[in-house]
Structure 1
């Protein structure tokens, strides 16, 4: 089944060229089923690229998903046309009284700042708080994972001596957890960050469990409230050339940056990157959608608040 998107969203034509099935809202209205409703708070600077990456993964499921995009009223994107934001994005006040099956919050280029120093921190933390009673399960990515852990639990982030940048091997700590059904013993995922969360800080909270990690990249996935929140420090949604584009961008800005690890063939930036994480990324999102949205969410979204203090089943 396809992902239902706003009419004329640029991602529609991009994904159609990749033979990925997407559906406009007009056609979706003709189908007599209840789609899953997923809200995406897109904090990435290049909005259209992030939209396309996430929709590509959401579309690889037999379930129909209706996607809304959310922007912050206290922050204006400098890299995406205003017309695009006004046409396809809602503000928090537009959805504050609504409920969603899922919420995805992307990373943001503000990780070197303290959380409270980020200009939109009050609004984004309000979204985090709202999600706990209005969303069945939330998927926090990279900076958002660190920010949400800090907002809910006070887990700090720590500046690293060197940026974690590349594609890294990971292992699973709890193979019985439904998020990992179908996974191999080892899998790869991209990371691109200057900061980290540490085991000793996470383990202080019985409500949190470290599900997957890497010897090189550290903690990868933490789960909260049995599946109501997932904190993912890497970028399983990245397209093949995203790390390359970040690498070239930083070189052009004369920023200190190393060649992304385990990414290019023979570690040579002149050669094509090796796709090591695409299968993992698709399976990760599919499992999240199936086991923590579709099988847990109430048919009547107004009942989500009743799930707030419940732990999802693990069958």
Structure 2
């Protein structure tokens, strides 16, 4: 089944060139089925690049997904044309009275900024509080995972001394081998990270009731979820394209920041060589599992009848 997005969105042509089934709104309106309503809160500066990355992962499912794009505020963007934002993105006030099957909150370049110093922190908190009553399952990615832990568990911001950048091996937690989010996963898998945030498994186990699903000896906790699967935390970037880490490295290098070479990313760790992708299959599987088991299997058929009390905790 296809992903349904606005006809003129730049991602349409990119995904079609990759033989991904994209259904424009004009065609989808003639189908008599109930698509999943997913909201993407895009906090990244290069919004067109990020929205395309996430839509690519959302498309790998037998479910029809109706994606709407949300921006955090109306401040001008240095990296995205105003026309694009005005055409395809909504303000929160435009969707605040509606219910959604899923919400994805992207990362943001705020790794060393304290929460209270984030210019839109209060608005972000309002959206996350709204989601608890209006969204079946929310996925928090990278910076958003740290912000979500602050919102739900009041965990303080914890940062690493050096930036974590590269592609790292992770292991699934054998205590949760049958968790729906891990269906089809190998015991070990690769995933990219680009962050200062510290997600120690021991710290999360001590201070939360989360199911810790996958960890890395180097990167710490990678995947965790509340027991009702309504909140999923992904600390890395499974959506990244092959050159995203490279672009970040070149950007930081050109700004004189002396960045470390992303680990396990370039052949022979040589930035002059073409990077290779080793995480694509894992990323697609993670999003397919989230859509199927955390969203589709739990959401009410009629979103107008959304109720927090309707959700039950499934045994693994």
Q: Same fold (TM over 0.5)?
A: yes
Q: 5 Å matches for 1:179-190?
A: 179-190=181-192
**1:114-151 residue CA offsets vs partner (Å, 9 max, x unmatched):** 00110000111111111111111011000000001101
Aligned to 1:115: 115
Q: 5 Å matches for 1:26-175?
A: 26-73=26-73, 75-173=75-173, 174-175=176-177
List gaps (5 residues or longer) in structure 1.
none
Match of 1:207 among 206, 209, 232: 209
**1:217-276 residue CA offsets vs partner (Å, 9 max, x unmatched):** 111112124200001110011111111111111111111311100001111112121211
Partner of 1:227, secondary structure, is coil
**1:269-297 residue CA offsets vs partner (Å, 9 max, x unmatched):** 12121211000000000011111111111
Cα 1:150–1:56 change in 2 (3 A) is same
Aligned to 2:224: 222
CA contact (8 A) 1:296 1:312 kept: no
Matched residue pairs, number?
314
Distance 1:117 1:254 in 2: 25
List gaps (5 residues or longer) in structure 2.
none
Cα 1:24–1:164 change in 2 (3 A) is same
TM-score, normalised with respect to structure 2: 0.96
Distance 1:115 1:3 in 2: 34
CA contact (8 A) 1:75 1:120 kept: no
CA contact (8 A) 2:225 2:232 kept: yes
Distance 1:197 1:206 in 2: 12
TM-score, normalised with respect to structure 1: 0.96
Partner of 1:203, secondary structure, is helix
How far 1:314 sits from its partner (Å)?
A: 4.1
Aligned to 1:254: 256
Distance 1:205 1:301 in 2: 33
How far 1:18 sits from its partner (Å)?
A: 1.0
How far 1:200 sits from its partner (Å)?
A: 4.0
**1:29-82 residue CA offsets vs partner (Å, 9 max, x unmatched):** 011100000000000010000011000011111110000000122644221011
CA contact (8 A) 2:74 2:91 kept: no
